[in-house]
């Protein structure tokens, strides 16, 4: 048993419950996913038919990749559209669900040439004491597609809690230590926040569990790639415009 056993067991359950994901023909998307969008009252709005106003600047931080190399988030954000999730590998609750959706997102985007090279996925642990670069690497191997096709998926952690705490504050990411650190679902409570960050380093959407559907996220990515001007479209239906 690895030390990630609870997480991996949860992931295995979720992935087995999901439809099979094929990887055979990039020209003809074959991935079939299920997600919260299946329960929506209306079909997803088409890319570019709605606006994604700037929410806040995405803060910089110096974090470590799975090999221990340091990266500035601000540099990683340049020229790419980023879907970034805060998580921890000991989570047996909401993180495995988010991870499954990220896996689907990577697979779907991989079949879309106009998206794959522009998009990156980033998972950031807020549990650096346990989520060392090596452990993040192990976690990544269970999630990331085997092939080297884009979009890339980075797994980052911090050298210590003192480094990650201001990052959580900057992204308004609540994390609480549970009274029972041996809780089988993990030692932390946290609200799921997954950020969509544009190539100028601005947060453009924040997904809760009910909106972390890879098809919806891809529509948002396409909306950003389409080059709509958020400033001109921020005030929807403004009678003065």
Partner 1 sequence: MFRKHANAWLLATVSATAIAASATAPALADETCQSPYMAKITGEEEFVYVWTLGMDGVGDGSDKVVTVDVRSGSPTFGQVIDVDSVGGQHEAHHGGLTDDRRHFWVQGLDTSMIWIFDIATDPANPKLVRTIDDFVEKSGGVVGPHGAYALPGRMMISGLSNTDGTGRTGLVEYTNDGEYIATHWMPTAEEPRGAENAAKADGYGYDARVLPRRNVMLTSSFTGLDNYMRPLGEVVNDPEAMKAFGGTMVLWDFHARTPRKVFEVPGVPLEIRWAWGENNNYAFTTTALTSEIWLIHEDENQEWHARKVGEVGDPSKMPLPVDISLSADDSTLFVDSFMDGMTRIYDVTDPFAPKLIHEKKIGAQVNMVSQSWDGERVYYTSSLLANWDKTGADNEQFLKAYDWTGKELVPRFEIDFLAEGLGRPHLMRFGSRDLYGS
- Retrieve residue 231's tokens: 């400033």
91 labeled binding residue: yes
Q: Which is nearer to partner 1, 116 or 197 (CB)?
A: 197
Torsion from C-alpha of 129, 135, 137, 141, nearest 10 degrees: -140
37 contributes a contact to partner 1 by CB under 8 A = yes
Classify residue 80 as exposed, middle or buried by CB count within 10 Å of its CB (0-12, 13-18, 19+).
Answer: middle
122 contributes a contact to partner 1 by CB under 8 A = no
- What Rg, from alpha-carbon coordinates, does the chain have? 18
Q: Which is nearer to partner 1, 183 or 199 (CB)?
A: 183
The least distance separating partner 1 from the CB of residue 75, rounded to whole angstroms, comes to: 24
In the region spanning residues 75 to 114, those forming contacts with partner 1, defined by CB under 8 A, are 92-94, 97
DSSP designation for 197: E
Rounded to whole angstroms, how far apart are CA atoms 179 and 56?
A: 32
Rounded to whole angstroms, how far apart are CA atoms 113 and 106?
A: 12
226 contributes a contact to partner 1 by CB under 8 A = no
State which of residues 21, 23, 36, 142 lies at the interface with partner 1 (CB under 8 A). Answer: 36
71 labeled binding residue: no
Counted residue by residue, the chain has a size of 241
Handedness of CA 233, 201, 199, 96 (dihedral sign): negative
Binding mask 181-210 for partner 1 (x = CB under 8 A): --x-x---x-xxx------------xxxxx
Q: Which is nearer to partner 1, 42 or 67 (CB)?
A: 42
23 labeled binding residue: no
The least distance separating partner 1 from the CB of residue 26, rounded to whole angstroms, comes to: 27
In the region spanning residues 140 to 179, those forming contacts with partner 1, defined by CB under 8 A, are 161, 165, 168-169, 172-179
- Retrieve residue 24's tokens: 């055979």
Total residues in contact with partner 1, by rule CB under 8 A: 55
Nearest to 35 by CA among 51, 18, 21: 18
- Contact (CB, 8 A) for 203 and 197: yes
Nearest to 52 by CA among 225, 238, 239: 225
**Residues at the site binding partner 1, with contacts judged by CB under 8 A:** 10, 14, 17, 36-37, 39-42, 44-45, 49-51, 53-56, 92-94, 97, 126, 161, 165, 168-169, 172-179, 183, 185, 189, 191-193, 206-211, 216, 234-240
Q: Residue positions in the annotated binding site?
A: 91, 95, 190
Q: Residue positions in the annotated binding site for Cu cation?
A: 91, 95, 190
């Amino acid at each position: 048993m690895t030390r990630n056993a609870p997480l991996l067991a949860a992931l295995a359950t979720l992935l087995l419950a999901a439809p099979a994901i094929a990887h055979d023909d990039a020209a003809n998307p074959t991935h079939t996913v299920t997600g919260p969008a299946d329960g929506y009252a209306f079909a997803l709005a088409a890319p570019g038919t709605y606006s994604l106003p700037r929410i806040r600047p995405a803060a910089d931080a110096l974090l470590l990749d799975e090999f221990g190399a340091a990266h500035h988030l601000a540099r990683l954000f340049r020229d790419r559209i980023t879907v970034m999730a805060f998580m921890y590998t000991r989570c047996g609750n909401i993180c495995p669900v988010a991870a499954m959706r990220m896996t689907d997102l990577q697979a779907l985007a991989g079949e879309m040439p106009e998206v794959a090279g522009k998009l990156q996925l980033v998972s950031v642990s807020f549990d650096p004491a346990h989520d060392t670069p090596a452990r993040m690497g192990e976690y990544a191997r269970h999630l990331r597609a085997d092939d080297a096709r884009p979009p890339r998926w980075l797994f980052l952690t911090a050298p210590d809690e003192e480094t990650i705490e201001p990052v959580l504050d900057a992204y308004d990411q609540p994390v609480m230590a549970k009274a029972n650190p041996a809780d089988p679902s993990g030692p932390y409570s946290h609200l799921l926040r997954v950020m969509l960050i544009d190539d100028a380093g601005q947060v453009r959407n924040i997904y809760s569990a009910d909106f972390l559907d890879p098809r919806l996220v891809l529509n948002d990515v396409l909306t950003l790639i389409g080059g709509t001007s958020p400033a001109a479209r921020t005030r929807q239906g403004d009678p003065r415009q």
